[in-house]
Structure formats: C-alpha cells, structure tokens
Amino acid sequence: PDEYNIDRHGRAVLRLDLKRREGTDLLLRLAEKADMLLEGFRPGVMERLGLGPETVLARNPALIYGRMTGFGQDGPLAGRAGHDITYLAYSGVLHAIGHAGGRPVPPLNLVADYGGGAMMLVAGVLAALFQRSRTGKGEVIDAAMVDGASMLAVPLHALMAAGLWSDKRGANLLDSGAPFYDTYETSDGRHIAIGCLEPQFFAEFARLLPLDERFASGQYDKALWPPMRAAIADRIRQKPRDDWDRLFAQTDACVAPVLSLQEAKHHPHNRARNASVTAGAFERPAPAPRFSSSQPTLATMPGDEDLLPSTMLARFGFAKAEIDDLVKSGLLTDN
C-alpha cells in the first residue's frame, strides 16, 4: 500500500509512457523548468529514449542530471544487473565485514544502496547545485554504488597502506578483531555493544566489568586479545542486557544495549529528542540532520491534493485545458 511505501511519501507521481513521443516530450517540457533530473536506468537506456544528458541539457543548460547505477556509466560491468550485496562484493567492503573464520555478512542494504549510492548522489547533487550558483551551468553526475561503497572504505585503504590494517576479515581494530570493539551475548540471549577504543574509556570499562588487571593494563597487546575476549564474554553472560545497561549508563565506557528497531523508537534518549514521528500509517525516524533556523516538514502522504499530477503540472506552468487534454488522451492519470 502507498501509505507504507516511503518512495511515495512527499512525491507527486507522474506516470509517463516514455516509449511514446508524447511521453518524452512531456518530460522534456518538465525538465526545462526543473532543478534536477534523476534516473536509475541501465547505461544507454535514457539515450535510446531520446532523454540522454545532451538532449535534456540542450533544453535546460542549468539542469543537474543525476544518474544512479550499480557499476557506473562505463566499464565491463556497466550493463549488468545487481543489488546492494553485489556492489558491496565488488567494492571489497563485503569481504571486510564479519567475524574471523566466518563468512562475509551483508549489512542489510544500507551501505551500497543508501550510503554508497543514494547519499553519494545527494552529495553530488548538492555540490553541483553549489557549482551552478557560481557558474550558472548544469552538471551530469555518474553515481555508481560500487564507487560509493569503495569511497566509504577510503580510511581502511589508508590504514592498509600504512601497515595498520590487515585484509583478513575479523583481524583488525574495528571489524570485531579487537575484543573491546564487538558485541557480546548476555544472560537473557540479548546483546550489548562495546566500543571502548581509547585507553581512558577502556580503563572505565575494565574497572566496572571488572576485568583482570593483566587485561586492563594490556589493551593493545594483541597476544592478549583471545583470552581477553573469552574473559569479557564469560563475564557478560552472567547478567541480562538491561542490567549491564544500567551499570554502564552514566559512564564513558562506551557500552550500549543492542536495541531492536522497535526498542530504539521507545528509548528515553530518542524519545526526548523526538527522534521518531508518526506520518500517515506508521511511526518512523524523524528527518535528519536538524537545522537551527528551519525545520523540515513531514512528507506529505500519497493521495494529498498537492501530490496530484495535475497539481504538479500546474506548478510547471501547464494550463488547465492542456492538463485536461492529457488526461483525455490517456497519457496522464490524475490520481
């Protein structure tokens, strides 16, 4: 249902048959007054439809033309299908996620689809808009999810080049290789997350756990990491998750309960910040980040009059009679 489809929230949906000349002509007219056009077809499809960057920017030289694909607009894999896990695999990032001796673990579809894909495209669009404010010229953005996921891993490449990171999974400071940067099961079958990297935070953790002095004074002695991990795991298994949360709550030990998505919405901190909002049929995270002088409005739900195709076309300068003709021709469905 549309009320649960976040891709519809806040968006007017205009369905066009781009295989009909009338459909492409209408899109080109919209592009003449648009700030940006975003497309997610495989390379070459927009060109075959007569809607490639050269054609569209000829109608609006100030347009930002964003292209989102898995592999980019060129290269041997450019035309290949894939999903988040595919692009992560080709970026090398998937290989790095997981425990030592285990298989690579997909981090949902957050890293390539959203982090390396959507957010990189957003960054590109914002940079292009800033450039346009100075030059008046548009830009074509080639946002590939493999490229974006790889970009997110630049710090790991730097550490590897410096000899401070192993290409072996689960052997490093931030990939669960270090016993003080990992998750542990509690007595009730739930988990806590420990991330006390800095010596002062680790000292606080070791004092409260408590941890044997030989471990407390040997945080970065890798020879101690296996027995330290076993000692931490054994201790954490002795209490339920929420007991550990209460113990560490007012400290700098960098310990947190691993909350489910539902639990996170009701955590006191998130509630105090109004981090969840109800929009339409369900409660969801609020817009982020936050601004000092303005507040993002909640996305309008599908069905709102402001999101009707006719309303959108009117904002683009189409006359009512012309919109009525488009509906009669079957090119436009006003719902």
Q: Active-site residue numbers? A: 83, 113
| DSSP line for 211-280 | --HHHHT-TT-GGGHHHHHHHHHHHHTTS-HHHHHHHHTTSSS-EEE---HHHHHH-HHHHHTT-EEEET
Residue at 217: amino acid letter: S
**Which residue is listed with tokens 């471990």?**
215
State the residue for tokens 């909350």: 259
Which token pair is 74? 């060129």
Q: Which residue has the tokens 């964003």?
A: 66
β-strands 276-279, 191-195 pairing: unpaired
310 close to 328: Cβ distance less than 8 angstroms: no
Quote the CA–CA distance of 168 and 197 in Å, as a whole number: 20
Say how far apart CA 276 and CA 259 lie, in whole Å: 15
For 169-203, letters b (16+ CB in 10 Å) and e give: bbebeebbbbbbbbebebeeebbbebbbeeeebbb
Residue type, 235: R
Copy the structure tokens of residue 324.
């009525």
d(CA 10, CA 17): 22
